[in-house]
Chain A
Amino acid sequence: MQLVLEKRAERSNTIALVSPLIAIGLTIVTMTVLFAILGKNPLLALHAYFIAPLTDSYSLQEIAVKATPLVMIAIGLSLCYLANAWNIGAEGQFLIGAVAGSWIAVKTQGTDAGAWVLPAMLVLAAAAGALYALIPAICKVKFGASEILTSLMLVYVADLFLDYLVRGPWRDPQGFNFPTTAEFDPVATVPLLIEGGRLHLGSIIALLVVAAAAILLGRTIKGFEIRVVGAAPRAARFGGFNANQLIILTFAVSGALAGLAGIIEVAGPVGHLQPGISPGYGFTAIIVAFLGRLNPLGILIAGLFLALTFIGGEQAQIAMKIPLDVTKVFQGILLFYVLACDSLILYRFKLVFPNRQVARGTG
Chain B
Amino acid sequence: MELVEAIILAVLAASTPLLIAATGELVTERSGVLNLGVEGMMIVGAACGFAGAWLTGSIFIGALFGIVAGTLMSLIFALMALGLAVNQVATGLALTILGIGLSGLIGAGFVGERITPAVHLAIPGLTGIPLIGRVLFGEDAFVYFSIALIIGVWWFLYRTRAGLILRACGDNHVSAHALGYPVLRIRTFAVMFGGACAGLAGAYLPLAYTPFFIPGMTAGRGWIALALVVFSSWRPGRLVVGAYLFGAVTILQLHAQGWGVGIPSQFMSALPYLATVIVLVLLSRARTGGSTAPAALGTVFVPDR
Contacts and interface: CB of A to CB of B under 8 A. Distances in A.
A328 B101 contact: yes
A156 B98 contact: no
Contact of B182 (A88, A153, A361): A361
B86 A342 contact: yes
Interface string B97-109: 1111110110010
A4 B305 contact: yes
Interface string A337-359: 00110110011000010000010
Contact of A336 (B80, B100, B287): B80
B43 to A, nearest CB: 11
A195 B101 CA distance: 36
Contact of A339 (B87, B99, B269): B87
Nearest to A352: B305
Contacts, number: 162
A324 B100 CA distance: 12
B221 to A, nearest CB: 11
A148 B277 CA distance: 11
Nearest to B87: A339
Nearest to B99: A332
A232 to B, nearest CB: 15
Contacts of A25: none
A328 B97 contact: yes
A343 B277 contact: no
A5 B302 contact: yes
Contacts of B108: 323, 325
Interface in B189-240: 215, 219-220, 223, 226-227, 230
Given A4-B305, A152-B223, A333-B98, A143 B284 contact: yes
Contacts of B273: 153-154, 156-157
24 contacts: A7-B304, A139-B281, A143-B281, A144-B287, A145-B285, A146-B227, A149-B223, A149-B280, A152-B223, A153-B273, A153-B277, A163-B266, A323-B104, A324-B104, A329-B105, A332-B101, A335-B97, A340-B80, A340-B84, A340-B86, A346-B85, A361-B177, A361-B180, A363-B185
Interface of B: 36, 76, 80, 83-87, 89-91, 93-95, 97-102, 104-105, 108, 177, 179-185, 215, 219-220, 223, 226-227, 230, 264, 266-267, 269-270, 273-274, 276-277, 280-281, 283-285, 287-288, 302-305
Given A146-B284, A358-B305, 10 more contacts: A144-B288, A145-B281, A156-B219, A157-B273, A287-B97, A340-B86, A343-B86, A362-B305, A363-B183, A363-B184
Interface of A: 4-7, 86, 88, 135, 139, 142-146, 148-150, 152-154, 156-157, 160-161, 163-164, 167-168, 283, 286-287, 290, 323-333, 335-336, 339-340, 342-343, 346-347, 352, 358, 360-363
